[in-house]
Amino acid sequence: MAERSMLVFTGSRKSRLDGLKALRDKLGRQIDDCESNRDLASLSSRHMEVLQQVAELEAEAEKSAGPPKGTGVTDIGAKRAQRLAARKGA
């Protein structure tokens, strides 16, 4: 029963990715405890679908995050290079 409430909570308060990760974990536990080959096939198929969706959403999130922000040192270096280029052009 605790697993069900966790999925309901995740689905109502967090992102789709969080919900899929919770479902992935629940399916994994069910696969580990499964004793029926028929049920194992069904659970495994669903688990693979969820894994694919998680991978796709994580790739989208990584792509939309953009390039990592520079450190203070690299920012200073970039500004210095801009100033030097401006002086040469003037």
Range of the domain at 21: 2-89
Q: How many domains does the chain have?
A: 1
Q: Longest C-alpha distance within the chain, in Å? A: 78
CA 81, chain centre distance (Å): 36
Rg of the chain in Å (alpha carbons): 23
pLDDT at 1: 46
pLDDT value for 63 = 84
pLDDT in tens, the chain (90 residues): 455 555 555 555 578 999 999 999 999 999 999 999 999 999 999 999 999 999 999 999 888 876 666 666 667 888 888 888 888 876
Residue 28's CB is within 10 A of a number of other CB atoms, namely 14
Angle, CA 52 vertex, CA 65 and CA 7 arms, to 5°: 85
